């Protein structure tokens, strides 16, 4: 449907251009007559010239509208083409091994990367809180999430890896992976999984998957401070510009932290508990509750 509309719109534009050329020729002809001192129909010629100019103005306005809508049609066509060319079920090419239930062979090069669940990303963006975003997967399923917290598509190992709460690594079974579908939308790669679960690729490289996630999380949580030139973010390190202090984002410590810090960071081997309070980034110390759990302390180490 979009292709047909685009072709019709292009034909209208061509016709408009031809009409404009014809009107310009008429206008030039009337100008020659109007400039002829011997003409007995000077006023009539001027009137016809004005009418022709009005027609030309309306036609140019119509042409502008058609060009604008054609541009939108072209964008829609490109989107449709991308969807058609990029939507590719993994199970069309996957090679499984009956003796290895985690083997996922023939992974495509353009599918390699680190993926995060869309639900996690949406909650992270709305709350700027990594703890809340992570635990949103376990609200009704405390021991097993609805979706994987991370997917690492690894061609060299013939595996897709995950890590529950960034504390329990495992591989995805091939009988689940065959239902994954890779799709490109607006130049972004997604994995569509059963039950309307979707994952977005946040890195094409898997060299440092958790570092890429920490950078992604940092961009969202520290967005306001970055915009105000208070901090800069390089990889997973937040640098306070005024002092040069480096804060390393740490997503693996949340499993053992009581409470919901916006994110945990490390400074000189000390773990800090970030709370964003009325727009201020407030970093508290942490204290050990027992052998397995830590909690926020009462001492403010840093704020900006």
The residues, any chain, with a CB within 8 Å of residue 295's CB and separated by 6 or more, are 257, 258, 259, 286, 287, 289
247 in the same domain as 151: no
Q: State which H helix or E strand residue 116 sits in.
A: strand 113-117
Tokens of residue 107, six digits: 């992974």
What pTM value is reported for the model? Answer: 0.68
Q: Is residue 167 part of a domain?
A: yes
More confident residue, 3 or 62: 62
Q: What is the pLDDT of residue 283?
A: 97
Instruction: Give 110's DSSP letter.
Output: G
Q: Is residue 217 part of a domain?
A: no
Q: What is the pLDDT of residue 90?
A: 46
- Which of the listed residues 30, 59, 85 is the one where a domain comes to its end? 85
- Which of the listed residues 57, 85, 113 is the one where a domain comes to its end? 85
111 in the same domain as 59: no
Please say if the pLDDT value at position 117 is more than 70: yes
- Which of the listed residues 153, 172, 207 is the one where a domain comes to its end? 207
Tokens of residue 31, six digits: 């100008």
Q: Is residue 215 part of a domain?
A: no
237 in the same domain as 180: no
Q: What is the pLDDT of residue 91?
A: 46
pLDDT mean over 87-105:
70
CA separation for the pair 149, 169 (Å, rounded): 10
192 in the same domain as 94: yes
The model's confidence at residue 24, banded by pLDDT at 50, 70 and 90, is: low
How many domains are there within the chain?
A: 3
CA separation for the pair 119, 32 (Å, rounded): 70
Tokens of residue 302, six digits: 């840093």
For 159, the domain range is 89-207
The model's confidence at residue 254, banded by pLDDT at 50, 70 and 90, is: confident
The model's confidence at residue 19, banded by pLDDT at 50, 70 and 90, is: low
To the nearest whole number, what is the mean pLDDT of the chain? Answer: 83
Query: Which strands make up the sheet holding 237-240, listed edge to edge?
Result: 231-234, 237-240, 246-250, 263-267, 270-277, 280-288, 294-303
Per-residue model confidence as pLDDT tens digits over 25-54 = 655 655 665 555 455 555 666 666 667 667
CA separation for the pair 126, 116 (Å, rounded): 16
Per-residue model confidence as pLDDT tens digits over 118-174 = 999 999 999 999 999 999 999 887 778 899 999 999 999 999 999 999 988 999 999
Alpha-carbon separation of residue 169 from 101, 116, 165, 166, 211 (angstroms): 16, 15, 9, 7, 15
Q: Is residue 151 part of a domain?
A: yes
CA separation for the pair 255, 247 (Å, rounded): 20
More confident residue, 193 or 78: 193
Q: What is the pLDDT of residue 225?
A: 96
Please say if the pLDDT value at position 299 is more than 90: yes
pLDDT mean over 67-79:
67
Q: Where are the alpha helices (DSSP H) in the chain?
A: 2-34, 42-86, 118-127, 130-135, 174-177, 209-221, 223-227
Q: Is residue 212 part of a domain?
A: no
Q: Is residue 216 part of a domain?
A: no
201 in the same domain as 96: yes
271 in the same domain as 254: yes
The residues, any chain, with a CB within 8 Å of residue 212's CB and separated by 6 or more, are 114, 202, 203, 205
The model's confidence at residue 64, banded by pLDDT at 50, 70 and 90, is: confident
Tokens of residue 295, six digits: 């909690």
Q: Is 278 exposed, middle or buried (0-12, 13-18, 19+ CB in 10 A)?
A: exposed
């Amino acid at each position: 449907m979009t292709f047909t509309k685009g072709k019709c719109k292009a034909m209208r534009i061509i016709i408009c251009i031809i009409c404009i050329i014809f009107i310009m020729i008429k206008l030039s002809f009337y100008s020659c007559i109007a400039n002829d001192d011997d003409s007995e129909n000077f006023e009539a010629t001027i009137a016809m010239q004005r009418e022709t100019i009005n027609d030309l103005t309306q036609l140019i306005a119509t042409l502008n509208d058609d060009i604008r809508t054609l541009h939108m049609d072209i964008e829609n066509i490109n989107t449709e083409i991308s969807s058609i060319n990029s939507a590719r079920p993994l199970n069309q090419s996957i090679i499984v091994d009956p003796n290895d239930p985690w083997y996922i062979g023939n992974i495509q090069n353009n599918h390699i990367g680190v993926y995060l669940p869309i639900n996690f990303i949406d909650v992270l963006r709305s709350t700027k809180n990594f703890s809340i975003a992570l635990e949103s997967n376990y609200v009704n399923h405390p021991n097993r999430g609805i979706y994987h917290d991370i997917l690492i598509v690894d061609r060299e190992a013939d595996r897709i890896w995950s890590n529950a709460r960034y504390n329990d690594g495992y591989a995805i079974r091939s009988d689940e992976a065959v239902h994954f579908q890779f799709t490109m939308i607006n130049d972004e790669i997604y994995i569509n999984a059963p039950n309307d679960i979707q994952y977005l690729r946040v890195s094409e490289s898997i060299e440092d998957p958790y570092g890429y996630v920490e950078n992604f999380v940092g961009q969202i949580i520290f967005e306001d401070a970055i915009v105000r030139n208070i901090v800069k973010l390089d990889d997973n390190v937040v640098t306070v510009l005024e002092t040069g202090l480096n804060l390393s984002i740490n997503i693996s410590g949340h499993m053992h932290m009581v409470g919901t810090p916006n994110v945990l960071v490390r400074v000189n081997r000390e773990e800090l508990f970030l709370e964003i309070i009325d727009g201020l980034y407030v970093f508290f110390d942490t204290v050990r509750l027992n052998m397995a759990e830590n909690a926020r302390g009462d001492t403010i180490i840093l704020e900006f």
